[in-house]
Amino acid sequence: MVKEINPNKPLFPISVAAEILEVNPRTLRIYEEKKLIKPSRNDGNRRFYSLKDISLLEYVHYLIQIKKVNAAGVREILAILSTLPENIRDELTSRVEKTIKKLPKDKLEMYKKGDNEITENLSS
């Protein structure tokens, strides 16, 4: 029997998290610099992400790339989300994941755009 993965346990280095999200690792570093996420760090100071972190990152990336929310707006949304029960937050991020999968091709390309645009979108 396969052991279930704890969704809160940081398992994925930045390169794997970026690959899962189909973004450049620099994008994740920008989100951290803008204080939108805070990955766990190991003793060697390497970033590690949990499954929950990856779901949250997908939501943050969606807000920035598709909804064009700036860093201050994303921080405010995340602050509001943190006041909700965990099951409601999980449902919301799950819905966003489904929404991303249904994006038209042009919007999907916008979702996957490069770091230069992300940096511009996050100026706050």
Domain positions in the chain are 12-121
pLDDT tens digits, residue range 4-20?
Answer: 888 888 899 999 999 99
pLDDT at 119 over 70: no
pTM, rounded to two decimals? 0.81
CATH code of the region 12-121: 1.10.1660.10
For 124, which DSSP code?
Answer: -
pLDDT at 3 over 80: no
